[in-house]
Structures are given as structure tokens and as C-alpha cells.
Amino acid sequence: MAKRALITGITGQDGGHLAELLHKKDYKVYGIIRGQHNPKRIVVEQEQPYVNLIEADLTDGSSLVRAIETAQPEELYNLAAVSHVGYSFKNPQLTAEVTGKGVLNVLEAIRLSGGEKTIRFYQASTSEMFGGLDYNRPGKGYDEDALFHPRSPYGVAKLYGHWITKNYRESYGIHASCGILFNHEGPRRGLEFVTRKISNSVARIHLGKQDHIELGNLDSKRDWGYAGDYVDGMWRMLQQDEPGDYILATGETHSIGDFLELAFKEVGIDDWKPYVKQNPAFMRPAEVDILLGNPAKAESVLGWKRQVDFPGLVKMMVQYDLGIETKRST
Ligand code: NAP
Ligand code: F7E
């Protein structure tokens, strides 16, 4: 019998990669889609026709109970969230409802449908919970025991999701694991995130469709990996006999300038500075200056290892955007 998995956030970057991975592993894949008219429905239906879509919303607990009753999953991956840090400052209450309380709604739906002992649960926790301030492990990066100090409404909401997941594990014995994932990117990344904004703009500049990029803070550094590698780590967490919390990261940190440099070099431009303008509109009220993760536990316990390195990631994204922008007329 094929295993059954339910994914919230199926229309997002990680949802797409995870659905693909589980389908290759012969799972029957269900995905939650929200909204009356979600334009992304047609994209999933065309590109991933094996996904069984169920209408539900993280803020509507009864819809989640019905989704679980329909999918009857052995594994439930909670990837849905208001996930853009800048947007979370502008919509903090929505962020708390979806990214924070939404996790409780999913866990309660598991209990209400009697799935405490039968459903394994994955929560998409994040390096944004650390906040970059207690960066006190030079050369090693944050591990699972590092202190949390979120710096955005998104990070604060995620910290609630993280702790309520641990609480339901301890209180009700749910096989619930949290993946504390550092930034992961790729061609499926939304255009509102800095890496994809850069790769797409570089392609458009190369093709003469755009003459510069407007960015906010250029000084921050991130531990950037490839999303396709990270969904494999999520799956591995749910295959363990015991639930737990794991960092997935590359163990390297790079600046936005490093990303710009490699992206522009990919189209033959050695000096990116004339093409980049700073726009305060993209600055945040509080910033996470530097993130670096230590994936040692995931590597030793899960046997997980990232496959794509930083130059490979930048190249993959720019080449993808060159392909789609060449086909697009505007
Ligand atoms: P993403 O591309 O922004 O996708 C977010 C998903 O959440 C979308 O499918 C979105 O649906 C869905 N969603 C938003 N509000 C919802 C609601 N009220 N009810 C149901 N679904 C809702 O995010 P991602 O990059 O794939 O990340 C996946 C998860 O990992 C997120 O929880 C994110 O916070 C977390 N995370 C991401 C990273 C990273 O670097 N990518 C790192 C650490 C943690 P619509 O398409 O309908 O908007
Ligand atoms: O910003 C700076 C920005 O929005 C990265 C989410 O997936 O990863 C992601 O959050 C950095 C920040 O990602 C622009 O200020 C400069 O310092 O690509 P980002 P993020 O904030 O790190 C974590 C781990 C998550 O969990 C989140 O869900 O780039 N930056 N100029 C800019 N950022 C954006 N978006 N746009 C700019 O124009």
C-alpha cells in the first residue's frame, strides 16, 4: 500500500519540491490549497498532476480536520506560513494567526481526528528564530542548543509554532519533529525573496529588459542552500523512530554582495555595482545581520548532506531565469 502524505503550503517553493520527492517515493500526495480563486491551483494541476488538492486554510481549524479525514495521512508536513520577513512587519497580526496559531490549528486537527498515534508531523521551523544576535559560536554556527532571539513578527510567530510542536510531542506523544532550516533557495523561490529577485533581474538586465536592481540592506549574510536538498532532510526526520529537532544548513555564510558577484559573472558582467541601487523601501525595522548554521546533528543522525554548493545554486537560478525570460515577451 502506498504511504499517504498531506502537505500544507503545496503551492510554495518547498511544497513543490517535497511533493516531487514524495511522488518519486511512490507516496500518494495530498496538498492543501487556500482561497476561492487561487491562481496557483492551475500551476499545481498542470505541473504536478499527481497532487490531490484539498481546499483548506490554516486559520480554519474545521477545514484542517476535514483535510486530514480526506487524506488519511501517515505523514503531515506543515509548510504553510506567511513566510516573507519584510511582509510580516507590515501584517504582524495575520502573521501571528497563520505562521503561529496556524500550527496549533494543525496539531489540534490531528488530535480531533484521532491521529496522535498514526500521523507523523513535520513543522517548518526557521533560522529566523535565532535572530543573528547571539552569534557566539564563531566558525561553528548555530546548533540545536543555541539561544533564540527572533527579530521580526515572522520569527516570533515561528517560535510559537516551534514550541507548541514540542509541547504536543511531550504532552500527547505525537511523533512531531521541527526542522530548523536556514535559507534555502532555487528556481521555485518567490520573486519577493532576495536571491530570486537578483537572479531574475540579472537575467532581465542581460536581455535588455531592465537596467538596474533596487535592493535594501546589502550587508546581511545568509547560510544559503538549495531547497531540493532540504526537503530530503524533512522526509528523513519523519523516518526516524523517535521525533526530534534538527538544523539543516550548509555551514557557510555569504553576503548579498557575494550572491550579486556570482550572479552577474554568470552573464559576463564583472562589476555589479553600477547595476544596483539601494532603496530604503526594502529595509526592515530590525534586521538579522548574519546567519550560519551547524548541520552536524542532521548529518550524523539523519545521514543528510547538502548536494548543491553556493556557486552551483547561483548558477542554477540565473540559468533558469535566463531560460524563462528569453521565452517571455516583456
Ligand atoms: P512559500 O514559498 O512562501 O510558501 C508558503 C505557502 O504557505 C504557500 O503555499 C501559501 O499558499 C501557504 N499559505 C500562506 N498562508 C496560508 C493559509 N492561511 N492557509 C494555508 N496556506 C497558506 O514558503 P517556502 O519557502 O516554501 O517555505 C516553506 C515553509 O518553510 C514556510 O513555513 C517557511 O516559513 C519555512 N521556512 C522557509 C525557509 C526558506 O528559506 N525557504 C527557511 C526556513 C523555514 P498561497 O500560495 O496560497 O499563498
Ligand atoms: O532576505 C536582504 C534582507 O527576504 C534576505 C524566508 O524564507 O529565510 C527567508 O527570510 C536578506 C535580508 O530572506 C532585499 O533585508 C536586501 O537581510 O530573501 P530574504 P530572509 O529574510 O532571510 C528564512 C530562513 C525564512 O524562514 C523566511 O521564511 O536580504 N535584502 N534587499 C532584501 N530582501 C528582500 N526580500 N528584498 C530585497 O530587495
Please tell me the distance from the alpha carbon of residue 139 to that of residue 261, in angstroms, as a whole number: 23
User: Is 144 among the catalytic positions?
Assistant: no
Counting ligands in written order, which one lies closest to the CA of residue 122?
1
Within the chain, which residues score under 50 in pLDDT?
none
- Quote the cell numbers at residue 241: 523512530
One-letter amino acid identity for 327? Answer: K
Among protein residues, the one whose CA lies closest to atom 1 of ligand 1: 12
Question: Domain map of the chain by residue range?
Answer: 4-184+225-248, 190-222+253-290+308-329
| DSSP character at residue 293 | B
What's the whole-model pTM score?
0.98
Residue 142 a catalytic site member: no
pLDDT at 132: 80
Helix, strand, coil percentages for the chain (3-state, nearest 5): 45, 15, 40
Q: Which ligand minimizes its atom distance to the CA of 194? A: 2
- Tell me whether residue 126 is one of the annotated catalytic residues: yes
Q: What is the CATH topology of the domain spanning 4-184+225-248? A: Rossmann fold (3.40.50)
Say if CB 177 and CB 123 are below 8 A apart: yes
pLDDT, tens only, 3-24: 999 999 999 999 999 999 999 9
In CATH terms, is domain 190-222+253-290+308-329 a member of 3.90.25.10?
A: yes
CB 308 within 8 A of CB 228: yes
Ligand 1 cavity residues, CB under 6 Å: 8-15, 32, 34-35, 38, 40, 57-59, 79-83, 98, 124, 126, 181, 183-184, 190
